[in-house]
Amino acid sequence: MERRLAWVLGLLVIGACGGGDDSSGPPPPPPPPPAPRVAIGSPATVTIAPAAQGAEPASAAVSIDFSVTAPGNYQCTAHGVGGGEVRDAELALLMGTNELARDSDSGEGYDAMITRQLDPGAYTLRVWEWRGRDASITVTCVPAPAAPANPSALLLGTPVTVEVPAGEGPAGQVELALSIPAESNYQCDATSSLDAQMALLQNGAVLVEDSDSGEGVNSRIVRVLAPGAYVVRVWEWQHRAAQITVTCAPAAPVQMAADGALLPLGTALTVPVPAAEPPRGHVHLNLVITAGGTYTCDATSSNDAQMAIVQAGNVLAEDSDSGEGTNARITRELAPGAYQIRVWEWLHRETQITVTCRPGS
């Protein structure tokens, strides 16, 4: 009995002393909190700390897990607030370490928006504040709105208004088929309350692209087109949803001039340039200066216009691309006297070149 009592007392003493466990280290730290997640149709809000002084704003970015279970076109937006005011949310979409898209202001106001076709898989959304300020940013991902039903064809002389969805690349573009019945000079305009962009394609290749050649920030393409099938592609510069009105029609008749014609100051004359090496590929217009001063001459073409100012057979100035795009421009002090404006095409192709000279720079 005494031996059993001693044995029980020994067990109690061992238990009181830790049961023989000689571990004296601190308990393991708790597991880190799971990364925030955003599900389709369920917003997720994260808090962004201010970026360290001198650091890039994106260094304070917070990552959000995002999974796609079915292929489709998805739209993710990021809206930021802080201190009672709207913040400028930035948004990037990644798959693994590969950044697929990044946006700043394609949504409403300062909201970021990414619209993209996605396959099933695991993605990451990174958000931060454009100026590196603290912010509370809410991210929402939903199936992208269905593309509006737009007309597919554009008839000469008939304006067509299309609804361009928000998005980068093909998701934010609208294409219209255009049939040209006869070779002529045509003008296509794309106008919008936002910033319309336009390209003209044939057989999948971009022939010409324009941003702001129309009024304001509207786009305009003027080009000689051969008979055939073309595509007019339009989109919005900042990839925002927009209404864009497109019109293509024969361009207004131009005042054609022959080689050796007189070029009045301030009057645009268009000359046909043959396909030939110089000098046969050169065309000249005569220019008379009655008052010395600074003058600017422009030579524009749908191809690549070249220009020189010549006096008594001597080239005073020559230019290739000082104008818009590949157009030529020369600004020079000219004394009273007789000059010639010589124009040709850089690759010696057949083209039409419009020449204008005016006082001033």
**What is the CATH classification number for the domain harbouring 323?**
2.60.120.380
Its domain, for residue 320, covers 269-359
Q: Are 295 and 320 members of one domain?
A: yes
Q: Which of 18-27, 82-91, 256-265 shows the lowest mean pLDDT across its residues?
A: 18-27
Inside any domain, residue 25: no
Inside any domain, residue 313: yes
User: For position 37, what pLDDT does the model report?
Assistant: 86
Total tally of structural domains belonging to the chain: 3
Q: What are phi and psi of 59, to 5 degrees?
A: -65, -20
Nearest to 211 by CA among 236, 182, 179, 175: 236
Inside any domain, residue 68: yes
Last residue of one domain, picked from the residues 143, 174, 192: 143
Across residues 148-172, what is the average pLDDT?
90
Inside any domain, residue 26: no
Nearest to 219 by CA among 230, 211, 229, 207: 211
Residue 15 has pLDDT above 90, yes or no: no
Nearest to 288 by CA among 313, 263, 270: 263
Q: Are 132 and 157 members of one domain?
A: no
Q: Are 212 and 279 members of one domain?
A: no
Across residues 310-325, what is the average pLDDT?
92
pTM exceeding the 0.85 threshold for the entire prediction: no
Nearest to 162 by CA among 219, 244, 218, 248: 244
Last residue of one domain, picked from the residues 143, 169, 193: 143
Residue 184 has pLDDT above 60, yes or no: yes
Q: Are 46 and 65 members of one domain?
A: yes
**Could you tell me which residues come within 8 angstroms of residue 298 by beta carbon, excluding any fewer than 6 positions away?**
323, 327, 328, 329, 354, 355, 356, 357
Last residue of one domain, picked from the residues 85, 116, 143: 143
- Separation CA 108–CA 94 (nearest Å): 22
Q: Are 188 and 127 members of one domain?
A: no
Q: Are 169 and 127 members of one domain?
A: no
Inside any domain, residue 59: yes
Specify the DSSP class assigned to residue 183. Answer: -
User: For position 32, what pLDDT does the model report?
Assistant: 59
Number of helices and strands in the chain (H, E) = 1, 27
Q: Are 43 and 104 members of one domain?
A: yes
Residue 20 has pLDDT above 50, yes or no: no
For residue 107, what pLDDT band results from cuts at 50, 70 and 90? confident
Residue whose structure tokens are 């360290």: 52
Nearest to 334 by CA among 296, 286, 308: 296
For residue 95, what pLDDT band results from cuts at 50, 70 and 90? very high
Q: Are 275 and 331 members of one domain?
A: yes
Inside any domain, residue 96: yes
